[in-house]
Amino acid sequence: MTARFRRFAAALLALAAIALPARAGSLTVDFTDLWWNDPDGSENGWGVNVVQQSDTLFLTFFVYGTDGAARWVVASGMVPTAQQPAVGARFEGDVFQTQGPWFGGPFDPAKVKVDKVGIATITFDSASTATLSYSVSGTAVVKRIKRQGFRVNSVAGVYAGGILATASQCTAAADNGPINFWGTTTVTQTASQMALKLDFYIPTGQLMTCTFTGTPELQGRLAAVSGGTMACVIGNTTYNAGTFALSALDSQMNGFHATFTGKDQYCTYNGRFGGTRFPGT
């Protein structure tokens, strides 16, 4: 990942903004998921659904009353707080308890009763962990929570896309700045390994292949790749080699995107890795 790639990066920035997934408002992570107490399995039966649209969260709690019966409790309008943490994101909103007509009969909206019973605050310190505090009718609760994973979402497939990042701390100051590796990404995945092979042409017309291999970790509907190694070759010659990690890896029907960090013998890189899935892959 050397300076010659930077010469065409600026021209591709506009295309990258279209093809790579965009931010939801000012947020860089979609927190939509089923969350539960941290560590895993420590409070089976308790949980909270988080659904995000733009910069607003809707929380649905799995809670019970003193009689052991389930209660329907929601925080339907969690919005970013004025004071945000240095790392992560914080949301706050009112908590409501609802009652309504019996589910087996005709549903009459007029019989739905909604009472404000408290306030909730959720502070995400990473893409997959948070601190949740809430109160219901004067009873306050604070929990460390994490995304609940129950099924691996495979990223395997072929994509049009690549890496859009910023190079910094380069051995040659002229190499600092935006970089773009744009081409075809082929992803293979097993339970213990994920490999992303990015093929793209450099300005000299030569085909470069960068391979990123690491260990996938399930984090709810998202994933992460840690302990990764990367190498870029032209023909049989290796030009770049180093380490990388992916976080907030979000795989969908139409593509995937993740936060990318990496380091080779030349620079440190921070940006995004993503692409649009080719039909049928």
Quick: pLDDT tens for 99-133: 999 999 999 999 999 999 999 999 999 999 999 99
Mean pLDDT, residues 247-254? 95
Task: List the CATH code of the domain at 3-21+152-277.
Answer: 2.40.128
Band (28; pLDDT cuts 50, 70, 90): confident
Q: For 116, phi and psi rounded to 5 degrees?
A: -75, 125
* Average pLDDT of the chain, as a whole number: 91
Q: Kindly report which listed range (117-121, 189-193, 265-269) carries the lowest average pLDDT score.
A: 189-193
pLDDT of 8 above 90: no
pLDDT digits (tens, 9 = 90+) for 234-244: 999 999 999 99
Band (227; pLDDT cuts 50, 70, 90): confident
Q: CA-based angle 253:225:270, to the nearest 5?
A: 95
Provide the residue ranges of all domains of the chain, joining segments of one domain with +: 3-21+152-277, 41-147
Distance CA 58, CA 163 (A): 32
